[in-house]
Every structure is written in C-alpha cells, then in structure tokens.
Amino acid sequence: MALMPVAEALQRVLADAKPLPTEVVSIDEAFDRVLTEDVVALRTQPPAAVSAMDGYAVRASDVAHAPVVLKVIGQVAAGHPFTGKVGPGEAARIFTGGIMPEGTDTVVIQELTTQDKNGVTIQKPTGAGRNVRNEGIDFAEHQTLLRQGQRLTARDLMLAAAMNYSRLNVHRKPTVAILGTGDELVPPGGSPGPGEIVYSNGFALAALARGNGALVHDLGIARDRIEDIAAAVRRARELNADVLLTSGGASVGEHDLVQRALAAEGLELSFWRVALRPGRPMLHGRLGAMQVLGVPGNPVSAYVCAFLFLGPLIRKLAGRSDISDLPQSARLGRDLPANDERADYLRATLQDTPNGPVATPLPSQDSSLMAPLAKADCLLIREPHAPAAAAGSECVILKLGL
C-alpha cells in the first residue's frame, strides 16, 4: 500500500464519524459540553429599565436646572419595585438594580444630593437617561445567543442561565479507549528493571482526548501477544467506546501484531501508512461502530498522530463546529533543507517579535524525544517535497495547546 497523504488520511478518519446523539444536562453539568441546537433567549435582560447606581429616580425635566428640591415619595430596590407614579417635583430613592418607577427617566447619583426632612436637594443638573440601564440592553427575548456546535465556556453558562435555561441539549461525549502495547512497558513511579521503559504515551493521549472533550477508558498495557491485544480490543468493544486508540506495536515486523490482533477481531482497515513524519505506520479502520486509530509507540509519533487525527475525530464526534486545527503563518527561525516525500511536522519553539511570530525547529527531531516535544510551542509543517527554505521565509505552523 502506498503512503497516504495526511489530508486524505484525515478525510478518511472524519468521513463516517457522525456527531453523537443529544442528551439533556443540567446547566450545572454543561461546562465544556457542545450544543446540539441554537439557544434562544427565553426572556429579555434586563426585563425593564433599571438603575445602574444608588441615588434618586427623577424626571429629567425637573433636574435640568439645579440646585432644586424634590419631594421623596417612595423607595425602590432590586427585587422591590415601587408601584406608584413619580410626578413633577417628585423623586424616588433608588438602589442599583431597582426598576425605574413610572414617570422617571433619569437617576441622580446620591453623591450629587443631600436629603433632609424637606426632601432631596439635587445639586447638579442631570440629563435624561443618566445611570439607567434600558430594558433589553443585554439581550432580547427570542434572540439567538448561543449556537449549535459551540463548546460551552463558563461565560456561556452564565448567559444561558440568564436566558432562563436550567437544562441544555448537548451531544453525548465521545468515549476513547486507550491501549498501550509493549513487553518493555511499566507504569511510572516504580523501579524499572533492566530493559524496562516507563509507559508514558498514554498520559499524553488521555489528556489530549479529555482536552478535546472525550471521556477516557484506560485499557492499560497489553503484552506483545496477539491474544493480549485482542482481549483488550474486545474490552474496548464491551465498553462501547466510540474510538479505540492503540499505541505501539507499529515498528516494521512488529506492526503485524496490533494489526493482526485487530484483524482477528474483524477490523475493516481503512489505511495504515501515512506520508507523515513522525508517524508513518499509523493505522485507521473500524470495528463495527468503533473507530480505531493505531499510532506508533514512539512517544513523539504517538502524540503527533493523536494531535493530527484523534483531536479532529473527537471534535467531530462531539458535534463541534471547530473540527480542524487552523494553520497559522510564521517566519522560519533557521534554514531548513529540502523535504522528501513525507510531510514533516517539526517540533518548534515560537517567539513573538515585532515582525510577527518566529518558529524555530528544535535541534533534534528524533521521534523518541519527549523533552523537546514538551518544550515545543508548535508543529512546523513541511509539505512533501518542499524546497529548501531560508531563515526569515514564511512557514506554516499548528500551535500546540494541550
């Protein structure tokens, strides 16, 4: 099988991924969830004109000239409307959030007044509409304020509640089962023996999955035996995972292991070699309704493949409207040689300069190196067969967030 271009591989991964069905959650649980429909305000905010300050609600025509003394005929505070009408020569004491009484059209702040038994003295002329928040200045009933496909922020929840929603319709969260493979792997925190390597991939992959809005099932580490891997694959199916992500078992010769275990479980293979560095032996297919991504074991390859393919896949399943990572442009921080037939995703740092961002590939790009990966701010994309590029020339990057 020829190497598949990255864009085509991504297209295949996303092709039959459908946004997951709706569930209703209380607004309390809706943080970071994705709306299945537009959300329309159920009320107007503020529902009536209210005072923005503590002071006196008056008729602007009475306070066009000052000083002037007005008769205080009532009091209004948030939650305690004044039912009377304020006539000429009258005022109502008002506090922030109090509804403007009938007849009034401006608020004189209390700092510009003195009150005694004769009434309130307004010391300075005040124009109409001062210190008043008009009805609907925030939003109006029937206005669409949140959109389908939007991932809800803390601020969105505040807005939804103000629109009078206690529950919201959101997509079910995608579930991702994560499996490591390798006889050499041991969990972190122990005392690795000779030849043992600390299992590290899974922690980045799980965090990346969660950061994109998925729930994670940790399937642990399978030994390098088809039966072990196949058993873990069956567990993923029993858990009804939407996605199975395996890492490892992908070097030449060994690759057969994960692929053969998946094949034994009925994998419909979509592709397994991508024109990508790091990450050539990546695999994609389906097991029934479950999508399968098999990424290489080398930590950088595992991460880059998950970043490029798992992230968008989760976002699509989650119903998000922002599925793709948006490439940005930067200037090269150093000369680069011509590229070969594989797209290169170089780990690079990013500096803001007066001439825009400068991306400098880290000196060592080996796919096993986790320290430079952790230090990187972005992936610098080199297209297949890109010609040599000089420092200062334009380049394309993907920012690494998670």
Binding-site ranges for ligand AMP (CB under 6 A): 180, 182, 184-185, 197, 199-202, 247-251, 254, 296-299
If the CB atoms of residues 125 and 192 are measured against ligand AMP, the closer one turns out to be 192
If the CB atoms of residues 135 and 228 are measured against Mg ion, the closer one turns out to be 228
Shortest Cβ distance from residue 315 to Mg ion (Å)? 29
CB-based contact 22:149 (threshold 8 Å): no
Neighbours of 214 (CB within 10 A): 26
CB-based contact 344:397 (threshold 8 Å): no
**Token pair for 6:** 């990255």
Binding residues for Mg ion, rule: CB under 5 A, are: 182, 248, 297
Q: Report how far apart, in Å, the C-alpha atoms of 299 and of each of 169, 201, 250, 255, 368 are.
A: 37, 6, 12, 16, 6
Shortest Cβ distance from residue 183 to ligand AMP (Å)? 9
Whole-angstrom Cα Rg for the chain: 31
What is d(CA 339, CA 383) in angstroms, rounded to the nearest whole number? 7
Shortest Cβ distance from residue 269 to ligand AMP (Å)? 18
Residue 213: contacted member of Mg ion, ligand AMP, none (CB under 5 to 8 Å, by partner type): none
Residue 113: contacted member of Mg ion, ligand AMP, none (CB under 5 to 8 Å, by partner type): none
Residue 204: contacted member of Mg ion, ligand AMP, none (CB under 5 to 8 Å, by partner type): none
Burial of 303 (0-12, 13-18, 19+ CB in 10 A): buried
Q: Report how far apart, in Å, the C-alpha atoms of 285 and of each of 98, 243, 265 are.
A: 61, 10, 12
Residue 185: contacted member of ligand AMP, Mg ion, none (CB under 5 to 8 Å, by partner type): ligand AMP
Shortest Cβ distance from residue 363 to ligand AMP (Å)? 21
Shortest Cβ distance from residue 199 to ligand AMP (Å)? 5
Residue with the shortest CB distance to ligand AMP: 297
What is d(CA 313, CA 291) in angstroms, rounded to the nearest whole number? 9
Taking each helix axis from N to C end, the angle separating 226-238 and 256-264, rounded to the nearest 10 degrees, works out to 50
Residue 201: contacted member of ligand AMP, Mg ion, none (CB under 5 to 8 Å, by partner type): ligand AMP
Residue 19: contacted member of Mg ion, ligand AMP, none (CB under 5 to 8 Å, by partner type): none
Residue 199: contacted member of ligand AMP, Mg ion, none (CB under 5 to 8 Å, by partner type): ligand AMP
Lay out the sheet containing 113-116: strands in order across. 106-109, 55-58, 90-94, 68-76, 119-122, 113-116
Shortest Cβ distance from residue 278 to ligand AMP (Å)? 11
If the CB atoms of residues 69 and 369 are measured against Mg ion, the closer one turns out to be 369
If the CB atoms of residues 85 and 223 are measured against ligand AMP, the closer one turns out to be 223
If the CB atoms of residues 176 and 358 are measured against ligand AMP, the closer one turns out to be 176
Shortest Cβ distance from residue 221 to Mg ion (Å)? 10
If the CB atoms of residues 104 and 247 are measured against ligand AMP, the closer one turns out to be 247
Residue 296: contacted member of Mg ion, ligand AMP, none (CB under 5 to 8 Å, by partner type): ligand AMP
**DSSP-based three-state secondary structure for 55:** strand
Shortest Cβ distance from residue 231 to ligand AMP (Å)? 18
CB-based contact 155:32 (threshold 8 Å): no
CB-based contact 145:39 (threshold 8 Å): yes
